[in-house]
Structure 1
Amino acid sequence: MTDLILSRRHFLGTSAAFGAAALLHPFSARAAANQAHLRVLSTTDLHVHVWPYDYYADREADGLGLARTASIINEIRAEATNSILVDNGDYLQGNPMGDYVAYERGMPEGALHPVMQAMNVLGYDAGTLGNHEFNYGVEFMDKVNAGADFPIVCANFADKLGDGARNDTLHLKPYVLLDRQITDGSGQTHDMKIGLIGFVPPQIMTWDQRHLQGKFEARDILQAARAWVPEMKEAGADIIVALSHSGISTAPESEGMENAALHLAGVDGVDAVVTGHSHLVFPSEAYTSGDGIDVGAGTLQGKPAAMGGFWGSHMGLIDLMLEHEGGAWRVLTSESSARPISERVERKTVPLVESDQAVLDATRQAHEETLAYIRRPVGETSAPLHSYFALVADDPSVQIVSQAQTWYIEQMMKGTEWEGLPILSAAAPFKAGGRGGPDYYTDVKPGPVAIKNVADLYLYPNTVRAVTATGATVRDWLERSAGIFNQITPGEADQPLLNPAFPSYNFDVIDGVTYRIDLSEPSKYDPKGELINPDANRIKDLKFNGQPIDDAQTFVIATNNYRAGGGGNFPGNDGSSIIFVGPDTNRDVIVRYIVEQGTINPSADANWSFVPMEGTSVLFETGPAGRDYAAEVQGVSIEEAGEGADGFAQYRIQL
């Protein structure tokens, strides 16, 4: 009950704490007797970005950081009579500070994780789990969560599932009822129970099976919601807000949906939805109205909803005008928005707020320790490591990952039944622009390579896996990867090359074979990996050791736990083909490889290219800094083609 008492005291003092000069929101200003304005402030997908600092680039970054979001939180609280602050998950992993705490500093007895230090300073009222909370194991997650001065809830992650959701042995409480006193428009206070229930994608069982398989279970989000929300009402919840670490999809409801927020909003009894996971903003032009989505009103199936970007880029905000009638509270009207901490001005990120000093002070030691951690040199590179052209040509940032994976798996196969089989390596570019913006690329100059550079090459704490695959599976694996490209019409100029719906982390390049990609063919698979054109054949001239690949031959492929366990829905990868489960992360393997080599040469070997098309050109966007490397790209001729959108540079390839 201590947490609730502390939160209640904060709740009552929000307006007064920032002085009488604050301009009240219209809901607060015009609320009548028995009407109350409640603000639901939210963060989502922080990924340990507490400071406005890019640890991979080792420089300040104005477009991220909870310390910046904190300033908006303080301002928004001051505008309302009543408010609560919640977090929607994915706070524990995602940058070198998270890795430093997990792998080096640890969580000794009594220690506080820096993200919890920051959240405690801000006085969060509740939170839920995201899928990345499980990346370091449940024991570590539990130690971190124990330091929260607020309840963390999750209704569909269980130690053991029962014969129905209400009989599950949940790892955390499914929901919390916050006892609050809210002030109405006449100045009168009312007791209110605000219900908060949390959900995580059930795909955690695949994505982190090394930590979860055989020990924990996950239930479908909507099954859990339909079981627990009625109990919350029975327990006296006046208002129910769902904390959904799950994106917004208009796909029909199906069991085990990853992005279930739209359907969750339709569950009877849910009054509002805080959503996330997709690293997008809602309401915004990233979504279109229809099929239950109303961008203008900021609603999903008529219920107010907000998604606050990622890394602290925005603060999600749901304003509720509540009315007490017939002994019950109901939502009279609502507004939803996402407040940014920065804006793009002339291709630069310009901050809209300054950092909150209290958050910086609380986490300064962890920040400084992280800086020391990332700056340690581990070797040297004789060539630049960059990812500016990783989606259009063989690339040094992907090459070095494959070299390290192959080196590692060759050692691991010795003395096993698989020794002697040819070893290939599959790797994808992680920092390749996209939603991360025009600066979101790997760029390591020749010279010393530090831990920060390795983290830059490989963003995620995946662990190494080896799988077996036939030559036919290798071909289909590459067909799946080739779905990142649009179908190109021969003879036409300046056609868009890349499909924006296809994430770069699913563009696997397989090292150890050579091949070409025929863009005149349609993609065999859609961006989610579903077979759509069974007869399509983009992969041409697929060879191993200079000879056409034997579809029946068996290969060992070095990859990561995400891909081997089914992540990305790649042919042949459902967990059944795994022959080796590495105890080491892919990052650790890269570090060891660089240490052993001393000096690495990551130059791409151009093992893949496009099939030429006479009189045909395509356009793509990359970071402006790629200009320094364009002439060195192997296997394709690249030329500048003007400015792209949102600070990107545009380039042309003559096929």
Structure 2
Amino acid sequence: MEGIHLRTTRTLGTATVAALVLAGLAAAPAAAAPEASGAKHGGGAHALDLTLLATTDLHGRVANWDYFSNAPYTDRAGDTVGLAGVASVVDAVRDEVGDDHLLVVDNGDAIQGTPLSYYYAVQEPVQETGATHPMAAAFDAIGYDAQVLGNHEFNYGLDLLDAYEGDLGFPLLGANVIDVDSGEPAFDPYTLVRKKVKGQKPVTVGILGLTTPGSAIWDKANVEGELEFRDMVETAEEWVPKVRAAGADVVVVLSHSGTGASSYDESIAAPENASDAIAREVPGIDVMVVGHTHLDKPSQVVVNEETGDEVLLTQPYRWGSTVSRVDLDLEKVRGQWDVVDAEASAIRTKGFAPSQEILDLVADQHATTVAYVNQVVAQSTEALPATASRYEDTPIIDFIQQVQTETVAAGIAGTAADGLPVLSIAAPFSRTAIFPQGDVSVRDIAGLYIYDNTLQAVQMTGAQVKDYLEYSAKYYAQVPAGGTFDPEAHTGAGNTPDYNLDIISGLEYEIDLSQPVGARIEKLTLADGTSLADDQQVVVAVNNYRRSGGGGFPHIASAPVVYDEQKEIRQLLIDWAQERGVIDPADFSDESWWLTIDGVRIG
């Protein structure tokens, strides 16, 4: 099944660019010139220009709104986010070059990441209500030509993904996503877009979609037995010639994959980040759109090892903060169009007022989401910040641990694992999360637990738990004996993100920063004060991402699962707080781990 689409891109009238957004949002700056940061490759005379605009990793963002802070989104760089800003960029470029010269594509991870996308997947799931998914509505109105599946498209299950695909007015691609039963691609591998330029022979652009195979690990519960994720390089080798044979003058690969190492053991699945390998090893590609890694890399050139041709890679910045612009110069070679020059640049959306058309399109869904996240669920007896959670035991992380521990302990009652010590793993996802004293809302809890993970539990040995903690402790830089710990200088060593600092409750332990990685965990005891023996069997509560191998932590992916009721951790936290009505650290706070330098505790 090749399942291609051959069509002429529709013309979308320019949306009115407005300075105002949804009620409560601040006005955006007036339109500004694009910020160019690309590099040319190739050269030669040309007879036809095409412009490709690309986004990636929108993660549920339409408006420039932070649902966790209940305010317009802001960051230190002053960037804005969301498809409303992207729409104004697309409109401006469409006015500049003409619709006959323009293609617009998205590189995946569209339907997970904000309370808006969560609400319409879980609280009022569109696959049940029949409502149009807000992201699909916005993409359609902007006039996208194609999108590739991201790994987060599988987070809410295949029924939701099917409904989302049905709402799109353009192909959702995934050449390496294979239906287990048929052995054929479960989604369109590619699409052909024909641009008819007055006075010229039509030019056909083939767009091939590939996604990271990591979904087989991270969303195993949703895809196992249904979908297989094949190696991206091998799939590109199969399909790029087919795209050319189908009539493509230009080949664009949408690669929801970055460059560099995998975050998991590659013996479990094919490499996670294969974009540069595809460009090097597969001939016949003109442009690749890169994503998944949330980097701002508008222009990179990779030389194909077989042909010596340069392949232009462009990665837009996540959440719609930038739109990649790729300008292609084509000339006829033996009667066929050929790309002779390509240049990529980044257009920052902060220079454009958001499209009122797009904001109006999702206004009701946005308002419903705002009302949902601002529901008060409990009262906190004191302010509980997460600021220091990456270097000291804090009550707000202990809150997560308590809920996970209680849930798993109840879930394994009466099973073979009943009676084993129950440990819990949590990580400091956000440095800015806080439960304020007084009213605690859904958004306060969602701001603490920002991912849509579900709770699982596995059985491990004491020796495996110690290995796990040693691996986690690589987050810290080494501090010499007698030295002083600096949270800014000595955390995140080796670019390890905060979410890969796993903290384990149900134990007491120290992390000696004067020791090298792999020999830092000391005084490891169970909660009752007894040493954790190497052969001690324990149950460990953990989120599905980590249990599936995300982050490459040892032992966890191969450990036997003893609990998996597909309960979302964030909702468990909300339910726990709502049932009690009070969040009191006296009910869960338990200082149980410490950083030390040569055996002397810090702080």
- What is the correspondence of 1:177-188 to structure 2 with a 5 Å cutoff? 177-182=192-197, 188=199
AA paired with 1:470? T
CA distance in 1, matches of 2:452, 2:471: 24
Check if 1:38 corresponds to 2:20.
no
Match of 2:444 among 444, 453, 457: 453
Check if 1:263 corresponds to 2:277.
yes
Q: Corresponding residue for 2:108?
A: 89
Match of 1:64 among 81, 101, 119: 81
Check if 1:608 corresponds to 2:602.
no
- What is the correspondence of 1:107-118 to structure 2 with a 5 Å cutoff? 107=126, 108=128, 110-118=130-138
Name the stretch that deviates more: 65-74 or 254-263.
254-263
User: How far does residue 515 in structure 1 lie from its aligned partner after superposition?
Assistant: 0.9
AA paired with 1:497? H
AA paired with 1:135? N
User: How far does residue 250 in structure 1 lie from its aligned partner after superposition?
Assistant: 7.5
Question: What is the total number of aligned residue pairs between the two structures?
Answer: 560
Instruction: Find the residue that maps to 2:9 and give its secondary structure.
Output: helix
Check if 1:333 corresponds to 2:358.
no
Instruction: Find the residue that maps to 1:146 and give its secondary structure.
Output: helix
After superposition, the Cα gap between the structure-2 partners of 1:323 and 1:56, relative to the gap in structure 1 and judged at 3 Å, is same
Tell me, yes or no, if the aligned pair for 2:4 and 2:191 is still in contact at 8 Å.
no
Q: Corresponding residue for 1:631?
A: none
Q: Corresponding residue for 2:256?
A: 245
Q: Corresponding residue for 2:26?
A: none
User: How far does residue 601 in structure 1 lie from its aligned partner after superposition?
Assistant: 2.3
Q: Corresponding residue for 2:363?
A: 364
User: How far does residue 115 in structure 1 lie from its aligned partner after superposition?
Assistant: 0.6
CA deviations on 1:237-271 (whole Å, 9 max, x unpaired) are 110000000002279x9971111111122211111
Gaps spanning 5+ residues in structure 2: where? Answer: 18-31, 75-79
User: How far does residue 358 in structure 1 lie from its aligned partner after superposition?
Assistant: 0.7
CA distance in 2, matches of 1:239, 1:42: 16
User: How far does residue 6 in structure 1 lie from its aligned partner after superposition?
Assistant: 6.6
- What is the correspondence of 1:108-507 to structure 2 with a 5 Å cutoff? 108=128, 110-160=130-180, 168-182=183-197, 188-249=199-260, 256-266=270-280, 267-283=282-298, 302-342=310-350, 352-432=351-431, 441-492=432-483, 496-498=489-491, 499=493, 501-507=495-501
CA distance in 1, matches of 2:310, 2:46: 23
CA distance in 1, matches of 2:189, 2:401: 42
Tell me, yes or no, if the aligned pair for 1:138 and 1:211 is still in contact at 8 Å.
yes
After superposition, the Cα gap between the structure-2 partners of 1:473 and 1:161, relative to the gap in structure 1 and judged at 3 Å, is same
CA distance in 2, matches of 1:494, 1:406: 31
Instruction: Find the residue that maps to 1:277 and give its secondary structure.
Output: coil
User: How far does residue 490 in structure 1 lie from its aligned partner after superposition?
Assistant: 3.0
After superposition, the Cα gap between the structure-2 partners of 1:378 and 1:514, relative to the gap in structure 1 and judged at 3 Å, is same
After superposition, the Cα gap between the structure-2 partners of 1:57 and 1:356, relative to the gap in structure 1 and judged at 3 Å, is same
CA distance in 1, matches of 2:261, 2:548: 26
Q: Corresponding residue for 1:80?
A: 97
AA paired with 1:389? A
After superposition, the Cα gap between the structure-2 partners of 1:361 and 1:511, relative to the gap in structure 1 and judged at 3 Å, is same
User: How far does residue 60 in structure 1 lie from its aligned partner after superposition?
Assistant: 1.2
Match of 2:505 among 505, 511, 528: 511
AA paired with 1:509? I
Gaps spanning 5+ residues in structure 1: where? Answer: 163-167, 294-299, 343-351, 433-440, 525-536, 617-634, 638-655
Q: Corresponding residue for 1:540?
A: 522
CA deviations on 1:413-468 (whole Å, 9 max, x unpaired) are 21111111111110111123xxxxxxxx2122111222212211211221110111
User: How far does residue 384 in structure 1 lie from its aligned partner after superposition?
Assistant: 2.2
CA distance in 2, matches of 1:161, 1:302: 38
Q: Corresponding residue for 1:646?
A: none
Instruction: Find the residue that maps to 1:424 and give its secondary structure.
Output: strand
Q: Corresponding residue for 1:345?
A: none
CA deviations on 1:100-135 (whole Å, 9 max, x unpaired) are 001111214642111111111100011110000000
Instruction: Find the residue that maps to 1:199 and give its secondary structure.
Output: strand
Tell me, yes or no, if the aligned pair for 1:397 and 1:429 is still in contact at 8 Å.
no
AA paired with 2:568? T
Tell me, yes or no, if the aligned pair for 2:107 and 2:256 is still in contact at 8 Å.
yes
CA distance in 1, matches of 2:440, 2:129: 34
CA distance in 2, matches of 1:275, 1:539: 39
CA distance in 2, matches of 1:366, 1:4: 33
CA distance in 2, matches of 1:401, 1:579: 20
Q: Corresponding residue for 2:27?
A: none
Name the stretch that deviates more: 104-113 or 411-420.
104-113
CA distance in 1, matches of 2:191, 2:172: 8
Q: Corresponding residue for 1:573?
A: 556
Instruction: Find the residue that maps to 2:340 and give its secondary structure.
Output: strand
CA distance in 2, matches of 1:180, 1:290: 26
CA distance in 1, matches of 2:314, 2:226: 33
- Give TM-score scaled by structure 2 length: 0.87
Tell me, yes or no, if the aligned pair for 1:41 and 1:84 is still in contact at 8 Å.
yes
CA distance in 2, matches of 1:290, 1:542: 49
Q: Corresponding residue for 2:515?
A: 521
Tell me, yes or no, if the aligned pair for 1:8 and 1:180 is still in contact at 8 Å.
no
Instruction: Find the residue that maps to 2:524 and give its secondary structure.
Output: strand
CA distance in 2, matches of 1:391, 1:594: 24
CA distance in 2, matches of 1:512, 1:301: 57
Instruction: Find the residue that maps to 2:197 and give its secondary structure.
Output: strand
CA distance in 2, matches of 1:23, 1:410: 58
Tell me, yes or no, if the aligned pair for 1:407 and 1:593 is still in contact at 8 Å.
no
Q: CA RMSD for the aligned pairs?
A: 3.0
Q: Corresponding residue for 2:572?
A: 589
Flag the structure with more relative contact order, 1 or 2, with Cα contacts below 8 A and sequence separation at least 6: 2
Q: Corresponding residue for 2:77?
A: none
Instruction: Find the residue that maps to 2:563 and give its secondary structure.
Output: strand
User: How far does residue 602 in structure 1 lie from its aligned partner after superposition?
Assistant: 3.8
Q: Corresponding residue for 1:349?
A: none
User: How far does residue 492 in structure 1 lie from its aligned partner after superposition?
Assistant: 4.8
CA distance in 1, matches of 2:557, 2:434: 33
After superposition, the Cα gap between the structure-2 partners of 1:268 and 1:114, relative to the gap in structure 1 and judged at 3 Å, is same
After superposition, the Cα gap between the structure-2 partners of 1:3 and 1:262, relative to the gap in structure 1 and judged at 3 Å, is closer
Tell me, yes or no, if the aligned pair for 1:14 and 1:83 is still in contact at 8 Å.
no
CA distance in 1, matches of 2:559, 2:466: 18
After superposition, the Cα gap between the structure-2 partners of 1:116 and 1:256, relative to the gap in structure 1 and judged at 3 Å, is same
CA distance in 2, matches of 1:569, 1:602: 32
CA distance in 1, matches of 2:302, 2:246: 33
Match of 1:48 among 60, 63, 86: 60
After superposition, the Cα gap between the structure-2 partners of 1:109 and 1:451, relative to the gap in structure 1 and judged at 3 Å, is closer
After superposition, the Cα gap between the structure-2 partners of 1:494 and 1:555, relative to the gap in structure 1 and judged at 3 Å, is closer
User: How far does residue 494 in structure 1 lie from its aligned partner after superposition?
Assistant: 7.0
Instruction: Find the residue that maps to 2:320 and give its secondary structure.
Output: coil
Tell me, yes or no, if the aligned pair for 1:484 and 1:507 is still in contact at 8 Å.
yes
CA distance in 2, matches of 1:60, 1:290: 36
- Give TM-score scaled by structure 1 length: 0.80
CA distance in 1, matches of 2:399, 2:540: 16
